Structure 1
């Protein structure tokens, strides 16, 4: 432990020490967001704005002797922004060029907490959490603005197995999240079997997270919605960057093509197929430690093995401002993962054999959006998208002389028409129509014994949606209410999904928030653990049908109270969530129900608590979540309820971030109670080759504990070139955390215990250049 601590201290003090040489290089101008915070304290006012409005604006500090009116006048002159006093406490900020038409629209999306957890994360009056990746400060363990890692720091969101492709929101499974990238529904969200986000972080500008009270225009995800968007403004200047870490290299560019057009490009590729780093070794060990790659047998003698893993992603966005009132945006995306695993061995008869196994995950996506502003405060947009996900796997099982080939393919076509009407400065209407066609193909081909299965299913969905947004003249009350009506053609079902959001400010610094929604979902993932690729859990998408996979529905309501003043935020939210018509095959049971198919539901009752204090360059927060998550199936456990596999009763996250000039440091601690699992009745030989289990999920794993740290330092390398160096350590103290436990039989039919452990001590280092 002493050597480990020495490594930690040395690792980070290198960067901290470098800042001393540059600590005097602070520019006189400061980000306008910092100036506005000073004015809010000085004059007891609140600024309302859309975060992108203030992007990249820096100004000199204002004289404290100025009155509020004088300060606003000076801000108007130096920023070319509009500052409109709405009441004695609220001031709206909008771009000057948009004053005549867009001002009322922007004013409805009021930011009520500007630094939620840390800089760049804001909470709005409509109940969503917005992350501005360009203004993002730092979070513990992160040296890049990884969008799916960032959202896991929000109360009620985490991954029980540390995979960002397996994000659990208030006890829901990952496939119950609707993840949109530039309007494209994503069926693959991670690299390296889910440990790394598949979305390049350096073009991403906005992430919007909705846990409840979702807008009526969004459907087909019963747990949460995560919307990711790249920069949508043309800045008429070339901007590019290149960098890398201990897993991959990447680059991006914003290229002005003409006065009204711009092309944005980003690409990333791992070098893990060429060279292995300590980070790669830790990731590979995390995924394959308990798989066939690390299991030997006494039937065959392994002579050599070779694994080759790589990933890459690419995306491009074309921006065209047709005129002052209309614009066109086109996006394309490609995500790729590949693992090849080759073995050479001799059999018990001394015969030489060679096998090759492979796993590929490929996603393609494209979207086109045309939007126009009309007279009479009407705006419309038409968006079409295509999403394709393909998983191909070939597994050669040496022991059983069996070859398994699987393919899971999803094709998703979508069209949405949105209409918005600003009726007055306090009232706005949104409505529209959405069409989706989703096709899923599943192929399975097995030798010894020979078996082949090919199934393809298609569901077409038509949906109408509408909602109103209203602000009181005093800005104390915000209400959004609406509904979505969906018709699922193949199932011949009509689902009505009302949604509402009420946000009320009282006593100046307190807010009451009430959210509610009904939602549905026609696609889910199934898990066949008995036919895993190398023992790795591999999920496959499947559509609802009229037989064994019903349409999933959910209901949720939450009530929250918050206090926000003097850089202190305290919030408390209680919620109830029910998800119906889930299948046992989608829950990943590794007990007596592993091969059982049944239909049931789960309910979650919980609270999310957050306290966040900001003091000068420090920001610290503590979040606590309590939840009780229970299953109930018709035939499982005699119809009695039992703990959900994702039931984490207590979750605590506490973090401290510090920013001084060009240096940012983040330190955090994560703790949660253990997951449920099922113990065998006895650990002994089983004459019937079956394991006899105790009551399902009646035992708990040990508590989970992890400490992370990260640091980022920015400096000017030369004129026009900025550099950034970052370092992080995940699990500083190399804590052994068991995140899953299950049981199997060996060749003698003895019960053996398998423990899946979390990431061990995992350092990472990055270096970037921006032009």
Structure 2
């Protein structure tokens, strides 16, 4: 522990030294044009000749000092309504350009929020609104037509004479459709997390502050901050929404269904936070456009606005290096690109070491014996993602997405065979690649349509080279899915909206087991096709106090000749000014799930494999859920209480990962969950604090087992989180305390632990592991250098107290002795990052 402690301390010192030896900050605040003229006169020994009253209210960012005088004057002409001419005796004449300047603030008429990067265009020039929605534009005459455009809003056309020449007033744009639910509770826990009127939650990373233990806005780690959502083993590849398994979550990236979640086999999210703009989380009351995901939906979205200015960033932390670029191609098109790559090829940090030890616990990678030793362990990951937007016309928008993600683990097994040293390589590779095309057409003020096509492919491949048995065991699990969705949206009235559509999905899952000694090969490939039609009515009252969505989705599975009808609804009512009441409900289904055949499959690391439902062992999973809640929000106070009941039928014992007497059983059953989610939050100026609590009663029902009913493996009865965040100017800090009751576990019968060389277990899940406890901290500081460059540095520590939490425990018999194995949580793990923006 002493050596590890020194490594942590050295890493933090090196990072701090590297970050804070960057050159000192240079202020880039706007200055008056008079002050800028004085500075230029002192530097270049030129005098400005101007009418003082014409420039007294003009403020711009000063030009760089290293520019030549000619470059300075060109910069001033581009950013002011004046022209500059050098005349004799070192005098610069300042004249008002022909025409006049109009200005204003672009805002959404319904939400009153500012619209950034709106396009304002005249016959001769154009500009875009800044982060405050503000714009300035030089026009030549009052009769000139000014058009204001923003994606998803009606184009506004006005005469230049309408704009006030003395005061910059607000200009409002009207949405084409009320497609998205409105924010009813902003800053749900911290800034950037909001609750919407349809019962869903939104994380807006463009306005995101900081969460404990997360400095680089990890998408799937951030989702776990909400009450009712935990990861029973601390990974983003095992997120449990109200007691469900991870495979029961529908995970979408810009509408593409993803079958892989994380890097490092679940310790960090595989979705690059630089290109992910918003995340929507729905625990109940799902929109009818979504198909499977019986426990919940996590929908990630990229920015849907065409950028007019080049933006880029470079970053790195103790795990990876990453880059992002947003490149305007034209006024109508821009492309975003993001990439990450692990740095373990040339530097293995303490963070990397902890992560590797965590994922390799009790696996083929970690299992050395007296006769064989594993060595040369290497792990690598990368991800690349792309989003291209093209506004074909004011009514037509095209979006193209692409994502490619990979994890690879390699190690050698070494042994002495017949007095000779031999070595064979084992490996585990996990890869996802997907692409999509989305086209939206606004036909008129009331009607629009969209077409979405995607292809997503996932593959997990393991080669286990057993050198002592002279055996090579190859395993593969792959998913290939194609989707076509047609959606229409018709605005019946200003308050009433009709959403309808058709959806086709074809999913193919292939599983391969191939052994060379003795020769054995089994390959099974299955296909399921889904045909769906859906329709939903949305209503928002004029005073915005009442909102509801009610609809249904009809599904037909051709393989099973099975029809499934899924009604869904959400209702939200504001009353007594500061109170809100909501009720949500849904029916859902899914025909893909993950199963565990053996605990040592795929080297024991990612042992779950995707499988399709069939007519025999694996039914189609169906769910029913109802929840109701009440909230109070006023002057920074928030109290929210929600109760729910969920019933999921068609699960299999193999999908639950049993490691007790039912580990080899293959039966179907169900589970039902009753629970309460509670949140208290208070914001005072730059400080916010929150307390969340969840209660859950999660019970299995397997009629074919010896015990028809017993607690679920995911029954975390009590979970509590206490968090704080403080933001002041450029500094952000957050700390969080996480506690929950222990995971259910099955113990052997005391005094009769072994029968017939097998563990003699007692009642299933009748005991619990020790309570889980973790304290995390995070801190971020923004550095501002000059007009074009700034940076952010951050530091986080996961499990500050270095608490040795047991996240799993199981028993086995070796040499007629009972062996208990405990899997530990992640130890104290520091991380730090730096990101430079251009």
Q: Corresponding residue for 1:105?
A: 178
Give the SS at the match of 1:165. Answer: coil
Equivalences for residues 14-93 of structure 1 within 5 A: 49=111, 53=115, 57-58=131-132
Indicate yes or no: 2:636 matched with 1:562: no
Structure 2 alignment gaps of length 5 or more: 32-107, 118-129, 135-147, 155-169
Indicate yes or no: 2:710 matched with 1:642: yes
CA distance in 2, matches of 1:615, 1:628: 35
CA distance in 1, matches of 2:565, 2:542: 32
Q: Corresponding residue for 1:584?
A: 653
Indicate yes or no: 2:433 matched with 1:364: yes
Give the SS at the match of 2:758. Answer: coil
Further displaced range: 272-281 or 237-246: 272-281
Q: Corresponding residue for 2:831?
A: 764
Q: Summarize the Cα distance change of 1:366–1:14 in structure 2 as closer, same or farther, 3 Å threshold.
A: closer
Indicate yes or no: 2:575 matched with 1:513: no
Give the SS at the match of 2:223. Answer: helix
Q: Corresponding residue for 1:416?
A: 485
Q: Summarize the Cα distance change of 1:633–1:652 in structure 2 as closer, same or farther, 3 Å threshold.
A: same
Q: Corresponding residue for 1:574?
A: 643
Q: CA deviation at 1:374?
A: 1.2
* CA deviation map 1:422-457 (0-9, x unaligned): 111111110100000000010001244432111000
Q: Summarize the Cα distance change of 1:574–1:585 in structure 2 as closer, same or farther, 3 Å threshold.
A: same
Further displaced range: 660-669 or 438-447: 438-447
Indicate yes or no: 2:283 matched with 1:215: no
2:192 to 93, 103, 120: 120
Q: CA deviation at 1:473?
A: 2.3
CA distance in 2, matches of 1:544, 1:22: 61
CA distance in 1, matches of 2:27, 2:735: 25
CA distance in 2, matches of 1:165, 1:528: 18
Residues 687 and 749 in structure 1, CA contact (< 8 A), matched pair in contact too? no
For normalisation by structure 2, the TM-score amounts to: 0.81
* CA deviation map 1:63-117 (0-9, x unaligned): xxxxxxxxxxxxx9xxxx99xxxxxxxxxxxx95742x52x526x6211111011
Q: Corresponding residue for 1:71?
A: none
Q: CA deviation at 1:308?
A: 1.2
Indicate yes or no: 2:248 matched with 1:179: no
Q: Corresponding residue for 2:461?
A: 392
Q: Corresponding residue for 1:188?
A: 260
Indicate yes or no: 2:412 matched with 1:331: no
2:411 to 334, 337, 341: 341
Residues 683 and 750 in structure 1, CA contact (< 8 A), matched pair in contact too? no
Residues 307 and 327 in structure 2, CA contact (< 8 A), matched pair in contact too? no
Q: Summarize the Cα distance change of 1:354–1:722 in structure 2 as closer, same or farther, 3 Å threshold.
A: same
Q: Corresponding residue for 1:405?
A: 474
Q: Summarize the Cα distance change of 1:23–1:267 in structure 2 as closer, same or farther, 3 Å threshold.
A: closer
Give the SS at the match of 1:284. Answer: helix
* CA deviation map 1:259-282 (0-9, x unaligned): 111111111110213321100011
Q: Summarize the Cα distance change of 1:398–1:196 in structure 2 as closer, same or farther, 3 Å threshold.
A: same
Q: CA deviation at 1:50?
A: 8.8
Give the SS at the match of 2:747. Answer: coil
CA distance in 2, matches of 1:297, 1:226: 42
* CA deviation map 1:290-330 (0-9, x unaligned): 223333323x153x611111000001111100011110000
Residues 529 and 537 in structure 1, CA contact (< 8 A), matched pair in contact too? no
Q: Summarize the Cα distance change of 1:188–1:6 in structure 2 as closer, same or farther, 3 Å threshold.
A: closer
Indicate yes or no: 2:540 matched with 1:466: no
CA distance in 2, matches of 1:52, 1:149: 29
Give the SS at the match of 1:529. Answer: coil
Q: Corresponding residue for 1:295?
A: 367
Residues 552 and 580 in structure 1, CA contact (< 8 A), matched pair in contact too? yes
CA distance in 2, matches of 1:480, 1:324: 29
* CA deviation map 1:334-354 (0-9, x unaligned): 00111111122214x534221
Q: CA deviation at 1:166?
A: 1.0
Q: CA deviation at 1:688?
A: 2.5
* CA deviation map 1:467-516 (0-9, x unaligned): 01111222211111000000001011000000010101100000000000
Q: CA deviation at 1:415?
A: 0.6
Q: Summarize the Cα distance change of 1:578–1:346 in structure 2 as closer, same or farther, 3 Å threshold.
A: same
Residues 683 and 752 in structure 1, CA contact (< 8 A), matched pair in contact too? no
Residues 317 and 332 in structure 1, CA contact (< 8 A), matched pair in contact too? yes
Residues 265 and 606 in structure 2, CA contact (< 8 A), matched pair in contact too? no
1:494 to 555, 558, 563: 563
Indicate yes or no: 2:303 matched with 1:231: yes
Residues 403 and 447 in structure 1, CA contact (< 8 A), matched pair in contact too? yes
Q: Summarize the Cα distance change of 1:27–1:172 in structure 2 as closer, same or farther, 3 Å threshold.
A: farther
Give the SS at the match of 2:237. Answer: helix
Residues 517 and 557 in structure 1, CA contact (< 8 A), matched pair in contact too? yes
1:259 to 331, 337, 341: 331
Residues 364 and 600 in structure 2, CA contact (< 8 A), matched pair in contact too? no
Q: Summarize the Cα distance change of 1:363–1:555 in structure 2 as closer, same or farther, 3 Å threshold.
A: same
2:619 to 531, 550, 573: 550
CA distance in 2, matches of 1:10, 1:356: 32
Higher RCO (CA < 8 A, seq sep 6+): 1
Further displaced range: 249-258 or 267-276: 267-276
* CA deviation map 1:587-615 (0-9, x unaligned): 00001111110000000000000001111
Residues 409 and 427 in structure 2, CA contact (< 8 A), matched pair in contact too? yes
Q: Corresponding residue for 1:734?
A: 802
CA distance in 2, matches of 1:525, 1:536: 14
Further displaced range: 265-274 or 141-150: 265-274
Structure 1 alignment gaps of length 5 or more: 30-45, 61-75, 83-94
1:430 to 495, 499, 506: 499
Q: Corresponding residue for 1:33?
A: none
* CA deviation map 1:186-223 (0-9, x unaligned): 00110101111011100110111100000011011101
Further displaced range: 312-321 or 687-696: 687-696
Structure having the higher Rg: 2
Q: Corresponding residue for 2:819?
A: 752
Q: Corresponding residue for 1:626?
A: 695
Residues 369 and 383 in structure 1, CA contact (< 8 A), matched pair in contact too? yes
* CA deviation map 1:630-669 (0-9, x unaligned): 0010211342x10100110000011000001100001000
Further displaced range: 284-293 or 314-323: 284-293
Q: CA deviation at 1:379?
A: 1.1
CA distance in 2, matches of 1:50, 1:331: 31
CA distance in 2, matches of 1:456, 1:229: 32
Residues 641 and 679 in structure 2, CA contact (< 8 A), matched pair in contact too? yes
For normalisation by structure 1, the TM-score amounts to: 0.88
Indicate yes or no: 2:745 matched with 1:677: yes
Q: CA deviation at 1:529?
A: 3.0
Indicate yes or no: 2:422 matched with 1:353: yes
CA distance in 2, matches of 1:558, 1:357: 48
Q: Corresponding residue for 2:157?
A: none
Q: CA deviation at 1:400?
A: 4.8
Give the SS at the match of 1:636. Answer: coil
Give the SS at the match of 1:280. Answer: helix
CA distance in 2, matches of 1:714, 1:18: 12
CA RMSD of aligned residues (A): 2.8
CA distance in 2, matches of 1:488, 1:651: 38
